[in-house]
Amino acid sequence: MSPSSLARAAFVFPGQGSQIVGMGKDLYEKSPAARLVFEEIDDTLGRKLSGMIFDGPCDELTRTENAQPAITAVSLAAWKAMGEAVGAPQVPGFVAGHSLGEYSALAVAGVLSIADSARLVVERGRVMQRACDERPGGMAALIGIDEAAAEDVCRQTGAYISNINSGEQIIISGDHMSLARAMDLAAARGARKAIPLSVGGAFHSGLMEPAQHGLNVVMESIRFNDPIAKIVGNVDAMPLTTAAEVKEELRLQLMSCVQWKRSVDTMVRGGVQRFVEVGPGRVLSGLIKRIERNAEVACVSDYGAVLEYAAA
C-alpha cells in the first residue's frame, strides 16, 4: 500500500472472543517476521503460549488470561507479516482496536513494544478474571434498540452499557439479577432481540473496578511512547496523540463503554476510505459495514490474506 493510500486507511484489531485454536499457525510457518513475534511473546511470558494457540486445548485457550495475549500475538504477527510482504515498514493513518484490540493498536502505533504489550495484556487478563470472580456478572447483546432507550433501561435496572457497536447493536452488562431485569425491560421497550453472551463477567462496567485498579498499578512500570499514527480510543472515540493521553485512556478503559460506532465515525470523518481488520475473525469488518455502508473492508488473519494485501 502506497504512503498516500496508507493515510486513507485504518487498521483495526479485534478483541476477546475472536480466538480459535490454530489461528496464526500458517503465519508462524510461512513468515519469518510473524515467527519472531510469537517467539518474542513466548520468551516474554516464559511459557509456550504459541503451542496453546496452535494446538489447544480449546478450554485453556479461551481462559481470559490466555485468550487476551493469544489474540494480541496473532494480531501483531499478522501485522509484521504484512510489512514483510510489502517490503517496507507501514505507517498507517489511523489505528483502533475493540477493547483488548486497543493494545495491539498501541503496539502498531509504536506506543508499546511487543514485549510490553504482552506483559500488559497478560496482567489485564489476570486482573479481569479476578474481578469476575469477586463480582460475578454477565453481558447481553441488545438488537434493534437505540442508545437512548438502552441508557434508560440501564438506569432503571442498575445495568451498564458496555459497547455501542453499531446503530443496531448495543452490549449491556451487570450482575446477573440486574442483567436479567435489563433484558426483560429492553424486550418490553421494543428490542428485537436480547441475547445473553457467553463471557466470564461484566466487562466494561463498574464491576471491573478491581481490575482497573490493578492494571493502573502495572502500567506505571511500562514505558509509553508518543504514537506515530492516530489512535482512536475506545473511551471518547477521539484520536490519542501523546503517551499521556494513551495512559489516561487505559486508566479508564476497563470500566468505560467501548464507543466503537463513534470510533468508526471519527475515522470516516478523518478521511478513511478503507478499513483493514488485522487478526483473527471478521467481527469488526461486519460492524464497520453496518456503520458505514460505503466503506471498503478487508480482513488479514492468515498468510494467504497477507499476500492478497501486499498485492493490492
Distance in angstroms (rounded) separating the CA atoms of residues 123 and 171: 24
Question: 277 - beta bridge partners?
Answer: 12, 299
**What is the full DSSP assignment across 28-63?**
HHH-HHHHHHHHHHHHHHTS-HHHHHHH--HHHHTS
Give the per-residue pLDDT at 64. Answer: 86
User: Taking residues 273-281, what's their average pLDDT?
Assistant: 96
Percent residues over pLDDT 70 in the chain? 99
Domains of the chain in start order, with CATH, are: 3-133+206-311 (3.40.366.10), 138-196 (3.30.70.250)
Describe the strand order of the beta sheet including 169-174 as a list of residue ranges. 160-166, 169-174, 138-143, 193-196
Judged by DSSP in three states, 146 sits in coil
Question: 300 - beta bridge partners?
Answer: 278
The predicted model scores a pTM of 0.96
Question: What positions carry a catalytic annotation?
Answer: 99, 204
Give the model confidence (pLDDT) of 185-224 as tens digits.
999 999 999 999 988 899 999 999 999 999 999 999 999 9
Q: Which helix (H) or strand (E) holds 232?
A: strand 230-232
Give the per-residue pLDDT at 246. Answer: 98
Give the per-residue pLDDT at 277. Answer: 98
Give the per-residue pLDDT at 88. Answer: 78
Give the model confidence (pLDDT) of 150-169 as tens digits.
999 999 999 999 999 999 99
pLDDT bin (cut points 50, 70, 90) of residue 63 is: confident
pLDDT bin (cut points 50, 70, 90) of residue 2 is: low
Residue with cell 490474506: 305
Distance in angstroms (rounded) separating the CA atoms of residues 260 and 190: 23
Give the per-residue pLDDT at 215. Answer: 95
Distance in angstroms (rounded) separating the CA atoms of residues 1 and 8: 10
